Amino acid sequence: MAVKYSILGVLIYAAMAVYLLAFIAGTLRQRKAGRGLFFIAFIMSAGAFIYRWINTGHVPLQNLFEVFIAMGAAVYLLSVICEKYLRINQLQIDTLIGFFVLFPAGFVFSETAKPLAPALQSPFFIPHVAVYLSAYIIMFKAAAAAAKTFSGKTDPLQNEDSVYRLVCLGFPLLALGFILGSIWAHYIWGRYFGFDPKEMWSLATCLVYAGYFHFRFIYGTKYPRINSLWILAGLSLILITLFWANLSKLFAGLHSYAL
Amino acid sequence: MLGLIVLFAGLSVYSAFIGPAAAKELFGSSAMLIFWGLSLICIFVCLVLFPQLTRRPPLALIHIGALLIILGGLWSSEQGHSIQRNLLKNAKYQTGELIVEKGKMQNIMAVQNYSEWAWLPFYLALEDFTIKHYEPADACEMPVVRQYLSSVKIIEQDLVVSSKQIRVNKPLRYGGYYFLQQDWGLREGNPYSVFTVVSDSGIGLIFGGYIFLGIGLFWSLWSKAFKRI
């Protein structure tokens, strides 16, 4: 547990608190208040991100602490895109995601800034991380919607369509993140795929979603629960990649943040 | 096809636990060669048998992209290079290491984990090697490395044909090889650079596959995601 008493820490904790309030407002069906609080939480997260940017002098996506702050801000932007263009409204889920992605930044990771290592001075660095974190948030949203299939409270077909369109939005970003990482690896290490544990988990994640599309192509919406299971399996692999593969010494490698 | 994807995903998860060296060996094994062959045949047969894959350009792009990536992967692998050396009389090795002292040139690189030596058809001369550091915040702080820089020249038949500054993330590409800054050291006070030398065989196929796959995925899936309701 690393509690922060800095300005950055205050911004993170305040954003977390407002995300929680927005979630409560959404639960109490106070939609307008919920959206307003959601926007305030976004301003705070974006403020933390910009504050970090000014302090470090480079786009703060270098380590998991910075990535989670960026995710805290990105969740609002992606929520707006999904609501406006996909007509998928998930206020409660989005605010909860916002709270949970900021939690590791607030309490788990150290805020000590380090200069940008030579390996990270690449034009692929920012797009690779930005695309991945966007894809992860969308896949979180898709998995939350997929889990509703098992609650029996929603129309399974309509819910299945929402899940499908969210995965359609997120999967190209997930694949692009993988491709950008592969090209970057080629220019830095001389190989486009190094069989590193994190690379293997990322590949498995992409393959599970590819499996979902093939399954859905064959069976359509005949088995909505099995379709949802694919999405939940995909999210499990994302969580493993993000936390276990990044932090565990079991998977120590070039991408590991544990060493 | 679905079965192959599930098997591939399962093998990827298994490989995450066994470490990069064992995973590389597994994915390059003879059994996996059968798997890659089956995957290639399966994608090709699907493209022929299912007209909806070829009639819909984005789906065709995705599957042709996957086909190119597998072909490129096979061609650029150690096994692929070994076959190229034996059949096509192509002397390229997949990867090697070249150590060049400042003010000297070299064309002999260590290959197969220093068990063999290979000769490049040109020399790489190291003009200069420098390490740039970040300004320390205070005098007590150890300076942190900002970049490793090697100024090199390519010499072919006594003529300088290319010169470039190699640094981390910015390799030199010449003669079918990439030269990447890997390490450095001192030999009797004189600095030397260690370059990873990587063959470019198959890379074009893989990157071409990435472009096809990427365009196909965005075209196919984003049109569905953003469809009007």
Residues A40-86 pLDDT 10s: 999 999 999 999 999 998 899 988 899 999 999 999 999 999 999 99
Is residue A259 over pLDDT 60? Answer: no
User: What does the pLDDT average to over B196-221?
Assistant: 96
Question: If DSSP codes are grouped into helix, strand and coil, which group holds residue A75?
Answer: helix
Shortest distance between the Cα of B78 and any Cα of chain A, in A, equals 12
Across the interface, do B27 and A115 touch by the CB < 8 Å criterion? no
Q: What is the pLDDT of residues A141-185, one digit of tens each?
A: 999 999 998 887 788 788 899 999 999 999 999 999 999 999 999
Mutate to test the interface with A, among B13, B94, B222 (most CBs of A within 10 A): B13
Cβ distance B221 to A114 less than 8 Å, yes or no, reads no
Residue A242 or A37, more confident: A37
Model pLDDT for residues B65-115, shown as the tens digit of each residue: 999 999 999 999 988 888 888 887 767 889 999 999 999 999 999 998 888
CB B216 within 8 A of CB B59: yes
- What does the DSSP 8-state code read for residue A216? H
A121–B224 CB contact, under 8 Å: no
Contact flag B24-A195 (C-beta cutoff 8 Å): yes
CA-to-CA distance for B106 and B150, rounded, in angstroms? 14
Residue A258 has pLDDT above 60, yes or no: no
Q: What is the pTM of this model?
A: 0.92
Q: Which pLDDT band, with edges at 50, 70 and 90, does B194 fall under?
A: very high
How much is the pLDDT for A253?
63
Pairing of strands B190-199, B177-187: antiparallel
Residue numbers of A between 227 and 256 with CB closer than 8 Å to B:
237, 245, 250-251, 253
Asked if residue B34 has pLDDT above 60, the reply is yes
Chain B interface includes A214 (CB < 8 A): yes
The encoded tokens of residue A239 equal: 């969580």
Predicted confidence (pLDDT) per residue in A91-132, tens digit: 999 999 999 999 999 999 888 888 888 988 999 999 999 999
pLDDT interval class at B1 (50, 70, 90): confident
B169/A179 CB distance under 8 A: no
Asked if the C-beta of A126 comes within 8 angstroms of chain B's C-beta atoms, the answer is no
At residue A12 the predicted structure's pLDDT band, cuts being 50, 70 and 90, is: very high
Say what the pLDDT of residue A1 is. 67
Q: Do A215 and B27 touch (CB under 8 A)?
A: no
Question: What is the arithmetic mean of pLDDT over A212-241?
Answer: 94
The answer to ipTM > 0.90 is yes
The residues, any chain, with a CB within 8 Å of residue A61's CB and separated by 6 or more, are: A67, A70, A125, A126, A129, A130, A133
Band (A244; pLDDT cuts 50, 70, 90): confident
Q: Rounded to an integer, what distance in angstroms lies between the CA atom of residue B35 and that of residue A191?
A: 22
Average pLDDT of chain A, as a whole number: 91
